[in-house]
Structure 1
Amino acid sequence: MRRRRFFAWGLGAAACLAGGAAGCGTQRVGAGAAGLRTRFAIIPEGRRWARAGLLFSGAAREAGYQLGPGTKITLSGLPALAAAELNNDHTLLTATTPLSRLSGEVEVVVVPGDSGFKDFQDFGAHLLADPARTPLAGRPQGGPDHLLFGLIAKGLGADTRQVDYTGYPNHQETATALSSGKAAAATGLLSDWRSGIHREQVRALAVSSARRVPELDVPTLLESGVRVDYAEWTAAFGPEGMTEDTREAAIGMCDDVTGSSAWDAACRSEGWISIPLSGDDFVVWLASEVERTRAVMRDLGLVDTTKATTCWGSCGNGH
C-alpha cells in the first residue's frame, strides 16, 4: 500500500456549534402526552454533520417541534462508523441507541479527462488484471472512499490486498493527485467532483447509488456489473440506554422530519438522497452495514483478521 493517512473522526461527545443547529433542542407541540414530556437536543457529531444538523432542526421546526434542552440526539454516519472500526473502538451500533437513517451522499468514480479508460469496463478490467499497478486515490485511508474501492475490487474479483490506494486529507489534494498522474482513478462525494465533471477536467465512470443521478449521464456500479449500492449515509442516534418511551418519541420525531416536504426540499438542494429507515428496521440494516464495513476492512488488510468481529458488544473486546 502507499502512504497511510488514516481516518481521524471519532465517536466522542460532539460539541455544540454556536449559532447553528448544534445543541438546539426540540419538543413536539400537540404530539400527545408522551411527546410533550420528551425534549431533545439535536447535535452533529462534529463539523462533517453540521449542515445536516442545521437542516434537520429546521425541518423539525416546520414539522411542529420547538427548541429546548433535553435528551441528546446525535447526527452521525458512515465516516464515524469506519473510524471506530479502524481504531477498534465502540461502534455506533453498540455505543448508542440507533434511531433512524436520514440521508445519503452519492459517491462517484472519476478519471482524468484524457484518461485511456473509456468507461468503467476498461477501468475495471485493468483493476482486475493488475490492482497493484492501478493507483487509486481518495480521502483518508480507511474512510468511505477507500472502502468503496475495496468493495469495487471485491465485486470485480480482484485481489483486494493488492489494491494500491493513497489517502489524501481533502478533495483538493485528491484532485491534484489525479490531474498530475499520481492516480489513475479516484472516488469521492459527487458533490465534490461535480464541477470538475461539468468542466470536463475529469470524467465520471460510475456512481455508487442504486439509481442514476438525474441530469448526469453516468451509469451506476450495479449497471456496470459490480453489485455495490453505496452512500455516505447520515443517521440519528440517541444515547446508550434510552428508555423505550423516549426512544419511540425520538423515532417519531425522525419519521416526522424525514417525511416532511421541508426535509425533501433540503435533500434536493444539497444533492443528498433521502433514505429514511427507522426503529428496528434501521437497527437490522445498521448491523449489516457494520459487518460490511468490517469485512471490506479485513479484505483491504486494514484490521486484524484474527479477531472475532460478530459479538457486537457482548464479548468485551470493543466490537
Structure 2
Amino acid sequence: MRRDMFLKSMAALAAAGALPLSARAANTIKMMIPANPGGGWDTTGRALGKAMLEAKSADSVVYENKGGAAGALGLAQFVPGSKGDPNAMMVMGAVMLGGIITGKPPVDLKTCTPIARLTSEYNVFVLPANSPFKTMADVVAQLKKDPGSVKWGGGSRGSTEHIAAAMIAQRVGADPSKINYVAFRGGGEATAAILGGNVTVGGSGYSEFAEYIKAGKMRAIAVTSAQRLKGIDVPTLKEQGIDVEIGNWRGVYGAPGITAEQRKHLTDAVLAALKTKSWQESLEKNDWTPAVMTGPAFDKFVDDEFASLRATMVKSGMI
C-alpha cells in the first residue's frame, strides 16, 4: 500500500473511533463541568482529568465550567455542542438528576452516553461558627416553631442537601413545603454564604467543608450516612432520632451520538485513570468512597435513581 493511502486509511479509522487510544493521534479530552469552580463536580472533573493524564489515556485535558440550575445549564450546552465527539465528557451525578426532576429542562440527559459512576459521598450539615444554634436539635426546635425562619444553604434546587433538608422537615413534623432553601450555583458560593452567616445551616459533601470545620470556622452537626464517617467525629441524623439517609454519587457521561466502540474506548480510558496513584490520592484527600460502575449496570442504576429521587421528592412535598 502506498504511504499516502496508508495514512488516509489510518486517519479514517481514527476518526471513526476504530483505533485504540494508543494508536490515535493526540487526543484532547474536553471536560464539561456543569458547576462553578470550587465545588464537588469541579474537584471531581479536574481530579479525573489529572488521573487520565497520568494513565496516558489522554494527551491533554481542557475544562469548561458552566454552573447553574443543578447542572442543567451545562447540560444544555453539552448536548448540542459535543454531539458525536468521542473525546467529550461531562461530570454529573445525583444532583443533576434532582435538578432535572424539579426544573424540567428542555434538554434530555438520556440523549447523552453513560460512561461511569465514580464515587459516592455523604453530606454534612454545618453551622457558622458564631451561630446561636449549637446542635441539630437546636435547628429542629426552630424548624418546628417556624420552618421559614431556618435558612438552609446548599447546591442547586434538587440537590441532595435540598432533598435532605425537606426530608428532615418531614421527619420532625414540620411542613417540608415551607422550608427556606437558598440554592447556590457552586460550592464556593455556598461556603462564602455560610462563613458570612448569611444562611442558618449549610449542607454539602464533607470534603468541601473539611478545612473550615478543622479550622473552627464551621461547626459540623450531622452527616447523612447510616453510620459515622471513618475518622470524622460527626453524629449521623439517624443517631439523633431523625430517620434520614441520603448519598451523593458522581459520575461522567459522554456526548450524544457516539458509537458503542467509542463509548468503550472512553470507558476504558476512565477506568485506566481510576487505577492511578493520582486518583487514589484524590479519593483519600476528598473523603470520597469508590463506587465504580459502568456499562448496562450504570445505565440501569441511573434509571432507578431517577425513579427513587422522584418518589422521595414527591413524598417530601418538593414537587
TM-score (norm 1): 0.67
Residue 163 (structure 2) pairs with residue 147 (structure 1): yes
Residue 25 (structure 2) pairs with residue 41 (structure 1): no
Residue 117 (structure 2) pairs with residue 101 (structure 1): yes
In the other structure, the counterpart of 2:59 is 67
Summarize deviations over 1:181-234 as a string: whole Å, max 9, x none: x65433234344334423434321112345533442102334444241322x43
Q: Aligned letter for 2:194? A: A
Residue 102 (structure 2) pairs with residue 86 (structure 1): yes
Match of 1:76 among 49, 72, 91: 91
CA distance in 2, matches of 1:131, 1:283: 42
Moved more, 63-72 or 212-221: 63-72
CA distance in 1, matches of 2:316, 2:246: 19
Tell me, yes or no, if the aligned pair for 2:21 and 2:57 is still in contact at 8 Å: no
Tell me, yes or no, if the aligned pair for 2:29 and 2:58 is still in contact at 8 Å: no
Residue 253 (structure 2) pairs with residue 261 (structure 1): no
Unpaired segments ≥5 residues, structure 1: 1-26, 304-319
Q: Aligned letter for 2:282? A: A
Three-state SS of the structure 2 residue aligned to 1:94 is helix
- From the superposition, tell whether residues 275 and 159 of structure 1 become closer, same or farther in structure 2 (CA, over 3 Å): same
CA distance in 2, matches of 1:140, 1:258: 26
Which structure dedicates a bigger proportion of its chain to helix? Answer: 2
Unpaired segments ≥5 residues, structure 2: 1-13, 62-84
Alignment of 1:1-319 (within 5 A): 34=20, 36=22, 41-46=29-34, 47-48=36-37, 49-67=41-59, 71-78=86-93, 79-89=95-105, 93-113=109-129, 119-121=135-137, 123-124=139-140, 127=143, 129-130=144-145, 132-133=147-148, 135-139=150-154, 142-144=157-159, 145-156=161-172, 158-167=174-183, 170-175=189-194, 179=197, 183-224=199-240, 225-231=242-248, 233-298=249-314, 303=319
Q: Aligned letter for 1:58? A: K
Q: Aligned letter for 2:51? A: A
TM-score (norm 2): 0.67
Number of aligned residue pairs: give it: 268
Q: Aligned letter for 1:171? A: A
Tell me, yes or no, if the aligned pair for 1:110 and 1:186 is still in contact at 8 Å: yes
Tell me, yes or no, if the aligned pair for 1:150 and 1:300 is still in contact at 8 Å: yes
CA distance in 1, matches of 2:60, 2:191: 39
Q: Aligned letter for 1:188? A: S
- From the superposition, tell whether residues 63 and 183 of structure 1 become closer, same or farther in structure 2 (CA, over 3 Å): closer
Tell me, yes or no, if the aligned pair for 2:195 and 2:218 is still in contact at 8 Å: no
CA RMSD of aligned residues (A): 3.6
Q: CA deviation at 1:176?
A: 5.2
Q: Aligned letter for 1:283? A: D
CA distance in 1, matches of 2:252, 2:156: 25
Q: Aligned letter for 2:86? A: T
